[in-house]
A and B are shown apart, each in its own frame.
Chain A
Amino acid sequence: MPTIFESFVRPVMTFLAKPEILVPMMGVLLALTLKYYRVVTQPKWAALIGLAILGVFLGSCFETNFRKNITRPDNIPIVLLLFSVFFFLWLSLRRAAVNDEAAERGEPPLEAVHRRETVLVWPDLVMVELICLVILSAVLLFWAVGIRAPLEEPASAALTPNPSKAPWYFLGLQEMLVYFDPWYAGVVLPTMIVVGLMAIPYVDMNPRGNGYFTFAERKFAISIYLFGFIIFWIVLITIGTFLRGANWNFFGPYDYWDPHRQVPLMNINISEIFWVKWMKTALPSEWYIREAPGLLLVMGYFLVVPLILMKTVLKPLAKPLGAVRLIVVMTLLLFMISMPVKMLGRWLINLKYIVYIPEYFINL
């Protein structure tokens, strides 16, 4: 058993958990889920998938490092988060599948059946809220008594803990810092996220799907949202919590977080790829010549790609949205896609920066 575990299970799991595998894999799984949502959300399939995940999870608990990691008082909420996200994703897609099937049959959605104009504040609303409050308080009390606050070393400007981790809700951002410069991952992207979320009501011209679960009627919006939320938020938080160890190095789920582990860092810039590798010359000394390839790429991304998108994927949206909305959606989309693009660059060609102008502190 240990030999099979050591020779097979551990390496496979470590491989699967690598960000360059895990993120695309989750992306593909999500895409498949959305494509076959009517099938996989059927209770038997969902239960099967759920049980499989639970089985792997519980089976892994026999491994010491994994067990220690998930039972660390800090990490328990993240475990709960994983299971609840899975549950609610199923719930919403299941409801959507039921409603979409009903719609195809010409029937009203489930919510329409349940709908009523009024309910009584007491007891229907207040009582339920009260029960919720009481249960939540009881849970928190038991939690606080049972699991002690995980105290760490006293904060010190000179001594940072290793690994230094952000609060769990920022771990996604921290993971992005691996791929981007701080001003981009820490300022631009979060700003775009907030702005984008605020913009949704204004750019969403689709009148359907209000007040009931549906997927068929809002495929584009839901897909984009789920990719953003599940892949670029939840998965990154998971990676940051469970798979990023000492020195922010990657560790497999069953690995001990050894602070002395050596990891090669051999990332290079586009300018180096272009000039040194392809052109076989030294880097030009002037930054605008040196970074010309990168700058062209960025310009191309923000100018040419929209045109292509407009002609292809977003073509059906162009008309209903109108120019301003289209440009806003396009920009948000480009920024969102820039993330996987850069990540792929890192994973595939060890890309460090597309544009690297330390002279002006601009790195992309």
Chain B
Amino acid sequence: MSKRPSATNNDPGFLYNQKRLLKLFTVSSAALVAGIIAMILADFDRPWKHEQRAQLKWEAGKLALEAFLLETTTQQERAGLDEAREAARKVIAEREAALAEARKRVEGAQGSFYGADMAFKAQKQYTGEAQYGFDEAKSTADAERAAARLRRERDEEKLLGIAAREAEEILVKEQEALKALEKDLDDLVARERANPSLKRLQLLAAAVEKKKGYSPLREIPLLDFLAPPTRVEQVVLENLVDNYEFSTPKRVDRCGTCHIGINRLGFEPEKWPTEILSADAGNGEKVARFEEAVYRFVYGLIDSVHPPASRGGAFAREEALLRTVEIHHQALGMMFASYDRSDGTIGLDKKTGRKIWRRWQRDEGKGAWVSGKEGASVAEQYLSLLQRMESHWRTHPHFGQMVGDASPHPYEMVGCTICHNGRGWSTDFGFAYHTPDRHRVEDWMTTARAHEEGRHLPGNVDQTLEEAMLHGSGGAPVTTGWVTDHGTGDSWEHERGWTHEKTHHWMWPQLPGMLVQSSCLKCHKEGYLAAAEPEYADVRIGRPDPAQPDTGEWGLHAKVNYNDPAAEQAGEYAGRMFIPQEKPAYRPDALERGLDNFVSFGCYGCHKLDDTLYPFMKQVRSKAGPQLDEIARKTTREWLQKWVWNPKDFRPGTRMPSFFGLSNNSHRFTYRFAEQGDDEVDGVEWSKAEAYALVEWLLEKSGRDAYPAVDLSGADPARGEKILVGDYEASAHQAKACIACHDVPIQTPELAVDREKLASWVDGATHRTMGWKGRMARRHGPDLAGIGSKVSKEWLYHWLLNPRGYWHEANMPDLRLTVDEARDVTAYLMGQRNAAFDALDGLELNQATLRKLAQELKVGEQQESTSQALGIVERMTPKEQVLYVGEKLFKHYGCFGCHEVSTFKGATPIGTELTEWGSKLIDRLAFNHAPIEHTRFDFAYAKLVNPRIYDHGMAMRDLPFERLKMPRFGFSPEEARDLATFLVGLVNDPIPAASAYKPDTRRQDIIDGRLLVRRYNCQGCHVIEAEGGDIWPAIAADKWRPPTLLGQGIKTQPSWLFRFLENPAFVSIPGVQDSDRVRPWHSIRMPTFHLTEAETRKIVRYFAALSGASADFDPIEPDSLTGPAARYAVPQTRLIPDPADKTKRVEVRVSNRLEEARALFKTYDCKTCHVTGGDLTKAAPNFRHAHAGRLRETWIPTWLWGPGKLQPGTAMPGFFGERAPEAQDKSYFGGDPAEQIRALRDYIRHHYREED
């Protein structure tokens, strides 16, 4: 441009220098071509393609091995298989011929039947006509003739009828024969199809096909559109949507593009050979061990395909095939497990592979079926595959529960992002919004814990914890985020270009692993939904079916119909057995604990949770804390003052939170006092005035009428202690298992419960939280240590006698104490004082501060002008000021959320509604200046641990009552984490009805029951769903343990259980004695919970549902009415299995079954242990109840067959099980165990007499 053309104005010569133009064109064209190449390369180089290419190569290697192994076994098999096929075809052809014949016969029979039937029906018409003629002609001369005709016609009809029936019978028979033939043929075809050899060949073909399917040629850029080997694997979810407010498109998850193994079995590390997992490829000896493991593994594989004995000959081919596939999967697992990312090697290479191979050849591989080269190649390929397996190719860790086709959440239905969040349709690591699993909060929790260690937890000001959270242990902020964290996030940054920044634009970044459980709430809004259900097995007692391999230690079989009359006839008793699960498949335990905490800490008192969305909210108590309307009757002013000031001074583990002495109200602060100018205030003094006013108002408010005085003189505290702790040995009828719910102070060393043991038991067996180091253990009810400092003896005495008399919603059951017992317990507990707490000073009134408070609050009402408001306060008496402040503060802090107080009946909760909290935009969470990672989880977690943390670094707000006011509950880091998990799950994510979880009746019964069981702490005494029995370790002898309730639903009848729960000791039923109880020796008595009828029904239905039994009341069991009476009255013969050869049956003559049964009963000496009559010292249930409508008919045989299985640890010996065949007395009922069990059952239920 700068070069000026020399041409004149009208010269049509070139404007530009042509050579330069061409040069420019050349260069720019080259740039364009480069751009196009760059575009193609960029497309070729997309990360997911990388990923899939690696997978394809890896899979090709795997398939090659598979094909190789299959090939070697199938070669010799093919010929045989062809032969077998030919034979099968011949058989099928023969059968088909027979079938055709049968069809023809059926057709013929049909013809005859129709003909006969037609003739019969026509004849009926003639008979009718004759009948009519006969009726008409009755009184005429033709009567005789008409009668004769009628007779004739009737005879004819009879004959034709017989013919028609015969024809029909023939037809039915022929049809049945045809059906049988058809079924035969179907079976044959199916068997043929299931031929393992055939399967193996198909597998091989598929493998070869797949192997062929991968070709690098198909990847060539610009040609790869034809049949690309890499492609996006996506699942379109018909019933789940993304919520964009204005539209709800179907969810599309493409996670499978990179996570290839996620919905396939064969990539699970759990299945991998442990010796290889544990072997470390470090050096020296370890390397040798590792090599040894690989050696055994790889050649174990070869051996399994070609067992050494049969090498060169015929193999057990079908077996070998299955083993090949299974072991192959193990091999894949091994490859994965041994892949160590940190240095990328496992210390094995081709050389080692050859070494191992040579060893095998020398030792075992002589005359091997593969050449040395091939063998070495197998080993090498395995080792090389081993090094290339990526960790994210693995199978879903909860495959059976989550992604598997047979699971409740199949991949095709739920995909990935509905639970994990993230952006499902992205195929880019960053844009899928991955989140590192190792959340920094774990570090944070550790730090917080370290800071908690040294200090007295209930002390004022949680400054230390706040500092821990803000600054970490080493001074560096722990909360500055992923980027500076040297956790997983850091390595992701290096390896995959991941940054936290990238998660900025997606509202639902992937949940870190520890939070995935919170997604369960999206569909399972019922709460304890989702917990693993108990497993059942139908069991048949008696001879194992040879066709079904024995699956249990004493004859446990699946899929046997226990109501099968044929089985019953054959003398095989059947029952349904409850099998407590040892390890649930998958359980959202953190979520459940979070929910438990939400309920037990009464979070719902301030924070509404919509009960139409979360139905479990309908079942919680209206208030989590006790009522306060009558608090003056219960305790003293001084105690209340100290308690309100800091409840944890009195009881470290209390659920009552602290409102004062926290990080935002313990400082001196300046504020614009009542708009009158700046004033400096001491936060502690200010808080004390608040607490003082609260207490005064409460006392003023609560009724003054005291309880009648209780005279404790002559009461025996020692006996009271025994009652509390449960001295089961010494005192019948006295022990109450108070320790199941309360921590009880124990003074007499002999009575001391091994608390460590108790604590660890609680921790391990239930999912109640213990806090760290058990220091913060929270039992169900309050810790009773120091209770004497708290309550008045009158209150305690009346409370013990009738807890619901004080408060209608009390969880404390009625212990049915006698007046004397109550006096004793009261005397003992009143002696338990908390000396440290007693030594604390109460609060003193600072009237000046209080007046300021009153003014501040009055002005804050904004009902009057400032000067008017101040005037009103001035005109109040000091007392009125106190009460005014107290009431206002009671409302301000929302105390009525947990405590019932008549003044605030029906008041609106003060906290944020949490129904959709998990969907709240992160921008709208007020993190303020707290250096907390900006995620919902972090917000909730920090808030729970230190509720005032978001006032951190805020200039003190002008009005003190604008400060954050959520109190400090003293959650342990674990409790806070679980609660936060629950909160994060409270999302507004529309789940179409078709996909929402709808529990069937049985599941709903379980869910409802679980809530009640937790509310009333049934697991404090009983083992339910394999959890609980908290007090067991404290009880010396097994026989005093509260019964385990495993399988309760199949054991007792619903009506009995209902009556029992309403009145556990049958106390007010006239004429019922101790001796009539089920376990009269038991000194612990189940207390009366005064459940509502609805609650009782729910619990009954819960147990029935747990055991998979019917909860219909009083089912009529056929045997109880007709069977025994008919069967036992007369001598009879029976066919019983031949004891010598169980496949045959022999006929035995039974002279009198009843007598024989009675003799059998005596032989087994049942009365040695079982309570009969008046002897109450025995330790097995009273036989009376076997026929008092208590036990279910089907339960007794199940129990007799295997007591230990139904109730692990029971003292009941097994007489019949295959475990104890020697214990059985063979001289009755032909020695048939099943027959003996049946006889015993009938005898106990229907014919038992105490004098026997």
Contacts and interface: CB of A to CB of B under 8 A. Distances in A.
Nearest to B928: A260
Contacts of B9: 115-117
Contacts of A120: 12, 14-15
Interface string B25-67: 1001101101110110010000000000000000000000000
**Which among B4, B35, B242 has the highest number of chain A CB atoms within 10 Å?**
B35
A124 B35 contact: no
A135 B31 contact: yes
B245 interface: yes
B28 A135 contact: yes
Interface in A135-152: 135, 137-142, 144-145, 151-152
Nearest to B922: A259
A131 interface: yes
Contacts of B772: none
A362 to B, nearest CB: 32
Contacts of A157: 245-246
Nearest to B428: A148
Contact of B16 (A124, A130, A142, A144): A124
A128 B16 contact: yes
B25 A134 contact: yes
Contacts of B18: 123
A124 B13 CA distance: 10
B997 to A, nearest CB: 26
Given A118-B10, A259-B923, A134 B39 contact: no
A114 interface: yes
Interface in A218-246: 246
Given A135-B31, A138-B28, A145 B245 contact: no
B923 A116 contact: no
B24 interface: yes
Nearest to A154: B244
A137 B31 CA distance: 9
A281 interface: no
B373 interface: no
Contacts of A134: 25, 28-29, 31-32
Contacts of B613: none
B1103 interface: no
B848 interface: no
Nearest to A158: B245
Interface string B114-143: 000000000000000000000000000000
B1077 to A, nearest CB: 63
A259 B9 CA distance: 63
B4 A156 contact: no
A124 B8 CA distance: 16
A127 interface: yes
Nearest to B37: A141
B1164 interface: no
Interface residues of A, number: 38
B42 A145 contact: yes
Nearest to A152: B505
Interface string B1030-1047: 000000000000000000
Contacts of A142: 35, 38
Interface string A75-117: 0000000000000000000000000000000000000011111
Contacts of B79: none
B431 interface: yes
Interface string B751-789: 000000000000000000000000000000000000000
Contacts of B24: 131
Contacts of B505: 151-153, 161
A161 B35 CA distance: 34
A113 B6 CA distance: 11
Contact of B39 (A128, A130, A141): A141
A260 B929 CA distance: 9
Interface string B176-200: 0000000000000000000000000
B21 A141 contact: no
B35 A116 contact: no
Contacts of B244: 154-156
Contacts, number: 92
Interface in A146-188: 151-159, 161-162
A129 to B, nearest CB: 11
Given A155-B244, A157-B245, A259-B923, A123 B21 contact: yes
B12 A130 contact: no
B926 interface: yes
B921 interface: yes
B7 interface: yes
Contacts of B25: 127, 130-131, 134
A162 B21 contact: no
B15 A144 contact: no
B11 interface: yes
Contacts of A323: none
Contacts of A144: 39
B876 interface: no
A303 interface: no
A279 interface: no
Given A138-B34, A154-B242, A260-B928, A116 B11 contact: yes
B633 to A, nearest CB: 49
B87 interface: no
B927 interface: yes
A141 B32 contact: yes
Contact of A114 (B4, B16, B29, B31): B4
Contacts of A259: 923
A266 interface: no
Interface in A248-264: 259-260
A119 interface: yes
Nearest to B431: A151
A125 to B, nearest CB: 9
B507 interface: yes
B961 interface: no
Contacts of B926: 260
A188 to B, nearest CB: 30
A133 B9 CA distance: 28
A113 B28 CA distance: 30
Nearest to A143: B35
Contact of A260 (B7, B29, B921, B927): B927
Contact of A119 (B15, B242, B928): B15
Nearest to A112: B9
Contact of A117 (B4, B10, B16, B921): B10
Contact of A141 (B15, B38, B245, B431): B38
Nearest to B12: A118
A127 B16 CA distance: 10
B246 A156 contact: yes
A152 B431 CA distance: 10
A27 to B, nearest CB: 33
Nearest to A162: B923
Contacts of B31: 134-135, 138
Interface string B345-384: 0000000000000000000000000000000000000000
Contacts of B34: 138
A261 B125 CA distance: 101
28 contacts: A113-B4, A114-B5, A117-B10, A119-B12, A119-B15, A120-B12, A123-B14, A124-B14, A127-B16, A127-B21, A127-B25, A131-B25, A134-B29, A134-B32, A137-B35, A138-B28, A138-B35, A139-B35, A145-B38, A145-B42, A151-B505, A152-B505, A154-B244, A155-B244, A156-B244, A159-B245, A161-B505, A260-B926
Closest 4 CB pairs of A and B: A141-B35, A158-B245, A138-B31, A124-B15
Given A138-B35, A157-B245, 10 more contacts: A116-B15, A127-B16, A127-B25, A128-B16, A128-B21, A140-B35, A142-B38, A145-B35, A151-B505, A155-B246
